Amino acid sequence: MKYHVGITIDSELFKEIEKIRGREKRSTFYEHLLKLGLKNYKIQEQAKQQQPQEPIIGPDGKPW
């Protein structure tokens, strides 16, 4: 099932996407870009979660 979604984007971003997509259908190309973006977002979020958390340092210089 597919959904129709309306978005508003900056005119410069629109022009850049239009240059890149060539003859591919606009909706197909936007869907492709969204999939790439979500994949990258998930990778970045996983990397953030795998980084050790820095301890909070109290005023005496010791971790809380």
Structural domain for 32, as ranges: 11-49
pLDDT at 3: 94
Q: 3 in a domain, yes or no?
A: no
Q: 61 in a domain, yes or no?
A: no
Q: 23 in a domain, yes or no?
A: yes
3-class state of residue 2 by DSSP: coil
Q: 22 in a domain, yes or no?
A: yes
Q: What CA–CA distance (Å, rounded) separates 23 from 3?
A: 22
11-60: pLDDT as tens digits: 999 999 999 999 999 999 999 999 999 999 999 998 888 877 778 888 88
Q: 17 in a domain, yes or no?
A: yes
Q: What is the pTM of this model?
A: 0.69
Q: How many domains does the chain have?
A: 1
Q: 15 in a domain, yes or no?
A: yes
pLDDT at 35: 97
Residue 9: HSE in the Cβ half-sphere, 13 Å Cα cutoff: 12
Q: 59 in a domain, yes or no?
A: no
